[in-house]
Chain A
Amino acid sequence: MADKGRIKKELTELSRDTKSGVTVEVKSEDMHELEGTISGPEGTPYEGGTYVITISIPRGYPFEPPKMKFLTKIWHPNISSQTGAICLDILKDQWSPALTIKTALLSLQALLCSPEPEDPQDAQVATMYKQDPAKFRQTAKFWTETYAQKSDGESAAISRLVEMGFSRDRAVAALAQAGGDETEAVNKLLSS
């Protein structure tokens, strides 16, 4: 019996808040399906990006943690680059009923600031984070630009690849894989 009264109170409180950079929108009538957004923290490769997070409120809420997942693709050691699944203790066994949807979203924002590669969700990303920090930043930044920014202007690199005759989807995928490195992306596209 998830407490509707409490969810309502949380939502009211959230709608008043304009400073923290998190928003929540109700997606289902019973208020069990929500969608949150967080903005990429300044000084990180995620800066300038807006991340959409699907939130599902379990029946046992607030005694059980809300289920959260990144809808926006993101390059981060603790978030699956494939599924958006999150590895964060407070969304699992460290959840406390005194925490809220807002505090959970703020914790996600904090996670973007300080990844924990020792407890990875995505091994490939975590390996890159540890072994090649420069490439990690470059890739994370490219993913931010490609997936987390309003596409009011196509990235120049994508446009050039499309002009070369590759489909837009393939161009984006190749660039994402290559961390935004255009030459590497072209080589990938040509060799595949």
Chain B
Amino acid sequence: MSEEEEDENYVYSDEDELELEEEEEEVYAPPSHGRASEEGASSRGSTESAAMGGKRLQDGTYTLIERSEVEAAMLAKAREVSELLEVSASCAEVLLRYTGWSSERLMEQFLADPEKVSSRCGVDKWTGGCEGSTASSLDSDVALPPAPSGGLTCRICFLEVPASEALTAPCGHSFCGECYEGYLANKIDEGSSCVHATCPEDKCTTLVPPKLWQRALSGIPDKLAKYKTFRIDNFITFSKELRWCPAPNCGKVVRAGACVASVKCAPGGCGFSFCMKCGEEAHQPASCELVQQWAEKCQNESETANWILANTKRCPKCQTRIEKNQGCNHMSCSQCKHEFCWMCMGDWSEHGASTGGYYKCNKFDPLKATDEESDSARAKRELDRYLHYYKRYHGHDQAQKFAVKQLEATEKRMVELQESTHGSWIDVQFLKTANEMVIDCRRALKSTYIFGYYLDPSATKQRELFENLQEHLERFTETLSEMTEQPLETMDRTEVVNITRVTESFLHNLISGAESGLDVVPDAKDPTTKPTVAAS
């Protein structure tokens, strides 16, 4: 592929940008500010809302974008910065990578010390200003110096090469084309870090510009394409407003404006709802931090194991597992009737007056015992509390999975209903809307148990309010869920539509209620994870 041909793919003019704005159709409001649905498109605001590139999406809206659009957005952002800093767009791209695609931080750091930033990024020897990049592509706007006219001895293969077969980076170091190809191909194989590849010369920090990548890898276009992919991936990974859909095998990219908490990979995507901030499944009303804490807590199953270890022991005689549920240390095995001391596991018959009396094992430090006893009691209480929340969290999680599976059946039922009522496709949409509402509610309810678990126990008022909202949403979700499973003959469309609407408003009430300030305490020291020895 010739360089000119390749360049064609990167042409990006002001016209394109306008076109993109026009094409932008599907901008959605996130569930927290109104459900993502077809109606959501109407929330699209002025021209600025949908503009790609450096311009912002309207706050609170988001959209699915194609890979090609991502590339255009990256280019637009680079060009914008290139004009501000009066550097080539390729150079701007490198500089933006340095600050994780934050133009603000780049401006701050670059304006403070342009030389330092440029040399740290390996672009201090790059020449070519912003003029070059606006007219042509991003990938050919950095000038490459000519190789020594008399040819050279390549410092990699040690062979003599004519100038026409050599490639020279902006630093002036030349190598033969074949070695350059091998060098960059090897960098590609090392993975995403290839975007930071420098000139092959020892200790040279000059970054290999895109134009040189193109020349060197023109014979292996699939490697060259990978280089481009890595650059775009870097842009997606580090741009705050972009995120890969985390659902397995989806690969769609979501672009969101400011204040978007969670987004749905739709339409045209897989339908998965996820958090724009942490990339996990959408989790309102719980915060990203609480969700992470909760996940760690749940993963740590040893917590339960610890409790069992602290509270159950084996009979020293027959090894039957014994759970202690009273405060008394005088144990009697239910299997073999062996009597022993819970504290020291010694024979109870040895615990006579000489050892301090039946109920005061002398091998036991009373001071420590009080501590340990209360620890264990606290551990038990804490575990019960955790299990209360976990059971309900888990219940909604299972129900959500069920509702997701139910979607398939719902599609079939929609066809059935349409045929039997001779209605239109729009007329049967309510079934799907209801089913999707159940999924959204289950997901949110799941998170309410994370939220509730970490809610400050002393904030009685807030807890009451929250639990009230939770209870309502739970009740309506169950009702709606039941309705969506009804046989079609007995289904009342109006009722389903109404209940869906009411449920939606309860969902929003709960999320905005929780967001408008219910105090939450972080997971401080967890008493249940502490190994405890004594009984309660």
- Which residues of A are at the interface with B, using a C-beta cutoff of 8 A? 3, 5-6, 9, 60, 62-64, 90, 94, 96-99, 103
Among B104-112, B198-206, B271-279, B405-413, the one that faces the other chain is B198-206
User: What 1/0 mask marks residues of chain B from 159 to 179 whose CB sits below 8 Å from any chain A CB?
Assistant: 000000000000000010001
Q: How far is the CA of A62 from the CA of B154 in the complex (A)?
A: 13
Point out the residues of chain B lying under 8 angstroms from A98, CB to CB: 155-156, 175, 200-202
In contact, B158 and A62 (Cβ under 8 angstroms): no
Point out the residues of chain A lying under 8 angstroms from B183, CB to CB: 63, 97
Point out the residues of chain B lying under 8 angstroms from A103, CB to CB: 202
Q: How far is the CA of A124 from the CA of B179 in the complex (A)?
A: 42
- B267 at interface, CB cutoff 8 A: no
Partner of B158, one of A6, A63, A64, A96: A6
- Which residues of B are at the interface with A, using a C-beta cutoff of 8 A? 155-158, 175, 179, 182-183, 186, 200-204
Chain B contact surface mostly:
loop
In contact, B202 and A64 (Cβ under 8 angstroms): no
Point out the residues of chain A lying under 8 angstroms from B201, CB to CB: 96, 98
In contact, B202 and A63 (Cβ under 8 angstroms): no
Partner of A96, one of B157, B186, B200: B200
Select from chain A the residue with minimum beta-carbon distance to B200: A97
Partner of A63, one of B155, B186, B203, B204: B186
What are 6 of the A-B contact pairs (CB < 8 Å)?
A: A3-B157, A6-B157, A6-B158, A60-B186, A64-B186, A94-B203
In contact, A97 and B203 (Cβ under 8 angstroms): no
In contact, A9 and B186 (Cβ under 8 angstroms): no
CB distance from B108 to the nearest CB of A (A): 29
Q: How far is the CA of A62 from the CA of B158 in the complex (A)?
A: 12
CB distance from B9 to the nearest CB of A (A): 28
In contact, B203 and A96 (Cβ under 8 angstroms): yes
- Residue picked from A3, A5, A96, A99, most chain B C-beta under 10 Å: A96
Q: How far is the CA of A3 from the CA of B203 in the complex (A)?
A: 22
CB distance from B487 to the nearest CB of A (A): 66
Q: How far is the CA of A60 from the CA of B189 in the complex (A)?
A: 10
In contact, B186 and A6 (Cβ under 8 angstroms): no
Q: How far is the CA of A96 from the CA of B155 in the complex (A)?
A: 10
Point out the residues of chain B lying under 8 angstroms from A6, CB to CB: 156-158
In contact, A97 and B158 (Cβ under 8 angstroms): no
CB distance from A67 to the nearest CB of B (A): 16
In contact, A99 and B157 (Cβ under 8 angstroms): no
- Residue picked from B157, B201, B202, B204, most chain A C-beta under 10 Å: B202
Point out the residues of chain B lying under 8 angstroms from A94, CB to CB: 203
CB distance from A35 to the nearest CB of B (A): 22
Select from chain B the residue with minimum beta-carbon distance to A5: B157
Q: How far is the CA of A3 from the CA of B183 in the complex (A)?
A: 12
Select from chain B the residue with minimum beta-carbon distance to A62: B156
Taking A98-B155, A98-B201 as given, write out 7 further A-B residue pairs in contact, using a Cβ cutoff of 8 Å, ordered by the A residue number. A6-B157, A60-B186, A62-B156, A94-B203, A96-B201, A97-B183, A98-B202
CB distance from B199 to the nearest CB of A (A): 9
CB distance from B474 to the nearest CB of A (A): 55
CB distance from B189 to the nearest CB of A (A): 8
CB distance from A110 to the nearest CB of B (A): 14
Select from chain A the residue with minimum beta-carbon distance to B182: A63
Q: How far is the CA of A98 from the CA of B156 in the complex (A)?
A: 5
Q: How far is the CA of A94 from the CA of B175 in the complex (A)?
A: 18
Q: How far is the CA of A146 from the CA of B179 in the complex (A)?
A: 44
Q: How far is the CA of A6 from the CA of B200 in the complex (A)?
A: 16
Point out the residues of chain A lying under 8 angstroms from B157, CB to CB: 3, 5-6
CB distance from B394 to the nearest CB of A (A): 46
Select from chain A the residue with minimum beta-carbon distance to B204: A96
CB distance from B216 to the nearest CB of A (A): 13
Point out the residues of chain A lying under 8 angstroms from B179, CB to CB: 97
Select from chain A the residue with minimum beta-carbon distance to B156: A97
In contact, B202 and A99 (Cβ under 8 angstroms): yes
Q: How far is the CA of A97 from the CA of B154 in the complex (A)?
A: 11
Select from chain A the residue with minimum beta-carbon distance to B193: A93
Given A96-B201, A98-B201, A99-B202, check contact A9 B182 (CB 8 Å). Answer: no
Q: How far is the CA of A97 from the CA of B158 in the complex (A)?
A: 11
Point out the residues of chain B lying under 8 angstroms from A97, CB to CB: 156, 179, 183, 200
Q: How far is the CA of A9 from the CA of B201 in the complex (A)?
A: 19
Q: How far is the CA of A5 from the CA of B156 in the complex (A)?
A: 11
Point out the residues of chain A lying under 8 angstroms from B175, CB to CB: 98
- Residue picked from B158, B175, B179, most chain A C-beta under 10 Å: B158
Point out the residues of chain B lying under 8 angstroms from A3, CB to CB: 157
CB distance from A43 to the nearest CB of B (A): 26
CB distance from A54 to the nearest CB of B (A): 23
Q: How far is the CA of A97 from the CA of B183 in the complex (A)?
A: 8
A-B interface, 9 closest residue pairs, ranked by CB to CB distance from nearest: A63-B186, A96-B202, A98-B155, A97-B156, A9-B158, A98-B202, A97-B200, A98-B201, A99-B202
CB distance from A4 to the nearest CB of B (A): 11
Point out the residues of chain B lying under 8 angstroms from A64, CB to CB: 186
Point out the residues of chain A lying under 8 angstroms from B186, CB to CB: 60, 63-64
CB distance from A112 to the nearest CB of B (A): 20
Point out the residues of chain B lying under 8 angstroms from A90, CB to CB: 202
Point out the residues of chain A lying under 8 angstroms from B158, CB to CB: 6, 9
Point out the residues of chain B lying under 8 angstroms from A99, CB to CB: 202
Select from chain B the residue with minimum beta-carbon distance to A1: B182
Q: How far is the CA of A79 from the CA of B182 in the complex (A)?
A: 31
Q: How far is the CA of A169 from the CA of B8 in the complex (A)?
A: 73
Select from chain B the residue with minimum beta-carbon distance to A13: B158
Q: How far is the CA of A6 from the CA of B158 in the complex (A)?
A: 7
Q: How far is the CA of A5 from the CA of B201 in the complex (A)?
A: 20
CB distance from B173 to the nearest CB of A (A): 8
CB distance from A68 to the nearest CB of B (A): 17
Select from chain B the residue with minimum beta-carbon distance to A10: B158
Q: How far is the CA of A3 from the CA of B157 in the complex (A)?
A: 8
Select from chain A the residue with minimum beta-carbon distance to B187: A63
Q: How far is the CA of A45 from the CA of B156 in the complex (A)?
A: 35
Q: How far is the CA of A96 from the CA of B186 in the complex (A)?
A: 12
Q: How far is the CA of A62 from the CA of B180 in the complex (A)?
A: 12
CB distance from B181 to the nearest CB of A (A): 10
Q: How far is the CA of A57 from the CA of B179 in the complex (A)?
A: 17
Q: How far is the CA of A42 from the CA of B183 in the complex (A)?
A: 37
CB distance from A154 to the nearest CB of B (A): 43
Q: How far is the CA of A99 from the CA of B182 in the complex (A)?
A: 15
CB distance from A6 to the nearest CB of B (A): 6
CB distance from A3 to the nearest CB of B (A): 7
Q: How far is the CA of A94 from the CA of B158 in the complex (A)?
A: 20
Q: How far is the CA of A5 from the CA of B186 in the complex (A)?
A: 18
Q: How far is the CA of A63 from the CA of B190 in the complex (A)?
A: 11
Point out the residues of chain A lying under 8 angstroms from B204, CB to CB: 96
